[in-house]
């Protein structure tokens, strides 16, 4: 049997297209997962990890929509190791910004979020969230896993469409199962129209 850390498992899952679900704070405190060695399909053996190529059926009617960038908004700062409580409650990382969706068509809002966190006393799962229009749209993804005595940078990219023309507020939130210290953050918001 081979022990793979949750971080390595997540990296391998991204590389192979697997979808992982990280459990709530109590379950996420486990720092490793025991997997058979090698895993089915050679997953546990790098020599057997050659990519598999498959042809996908595609219809000419399913063309992508080209989008035009209409605005970029930067928001960054440093919490200097400020403690963010646990309990899987989301707390604001950055200041709320107002972004503009110009014209008469709907917009897509994208948030590129990069947050340094860690050095908490207990390992903890958590994630980042995007709040649009003061809770009217609130999107979260639990992909962070803080460990004691380690500072890591976590990132998420959210993009959602269908926002009506006009002004919209955006803000990034962080949640943690057991609490974590937060350091630098860099968040870029983009607005696109079709």
Helix (H) or strand (E) holding 175: strand 166-176
Class of the CATH-defined domain 68-193:
mainly beta
Mean pLDDT of the chain: 73
Residues 6 or more apart from 175 whose CB is under 8 A from it?
88, 89, 90, 91, 126, 127, 129, 140, 142
Domain ranges of the chain: 2-48, 68-193
pTM across the whole model:
0.66
Of 172 and 41, more confident: 172
pLDDT of 7 > 50? The answer is no
pLDDT at residue 180, rounded to an integer: 87
Residues facing 71 on adjacent strands:
191
**pLDDT digits 0-9 by tens, 94-140:** 999 999 999 999 999 999 999 998 887 777 788 899 999 998 888 88
The tokens of 79 are what? Answer: 């919490």
Phi-psi map region of 29: left, alpha, beta (phi>0 left; psi -120 to 50 alpha): alpha
pLDDT at residue 121, rounded to an integer: 76
pLDDT at residue 63, rounded to an integer: 65
Phi, psi of 139 (to 5 degrees): -115, 130
For 20-37, b/e burial (b = at least 16 CB within 10 A) is eebeebeebeeeeeeeee
**pLDDT digits 0-9 by tens, 148-184:** 777 888 888 998 999 999 999 999 999 888 888 899 9
Listed in order, strand segments (DSSP E) in 18-165 are 32-35, 68-84, 91-92, 97-101, 107-118, 124-132, 137-146, 151-163
**pLDDT digits 0-9 by tens, 45-61:** 333 334 444 555 555 56
pLDDT at residue 37, rounded to an integer: 34
């Amino acid at each position: 049997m081979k022990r793979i850390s949750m971080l390595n498992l997540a990296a391998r899952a991204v590389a192979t297209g697997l979808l992982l679900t990280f459990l709530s704070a109590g379950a996420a405190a486990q720092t490793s997962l025991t997997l058979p060695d090698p895993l089915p399909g050679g997953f546990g053996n790098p020599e057997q990890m050659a990519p598999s190529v498959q042809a996908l059926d595609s219809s000419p009617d399913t063309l992508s929509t080209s989008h035009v960038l209409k605005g970029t908004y930067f928001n960054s700062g440093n919490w200097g190791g400020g403690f963010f409580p646990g309990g899987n409650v989301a707390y604001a990382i950055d200041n709320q910004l107002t972004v503009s969706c110009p014209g008469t068509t709907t917009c897509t809002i994208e948030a590129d979020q990069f947050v340094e966190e860690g050095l908490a006393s207990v390992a903890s799962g958590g994630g980042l969230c995007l709040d649009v229009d003061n809770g009217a749209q609130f999107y979260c993804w639990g992909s962070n896993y803080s460990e004691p005595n380690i500072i890591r940078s976590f990132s998420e990219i959210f993009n959602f469409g269908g926002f009506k023309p006009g002004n919209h507020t955006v803000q990034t939130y962080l949640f943690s199962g057991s609490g974590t210290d937060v350091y630098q953050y860099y968040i870029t918001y983009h607005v696109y129209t079709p």
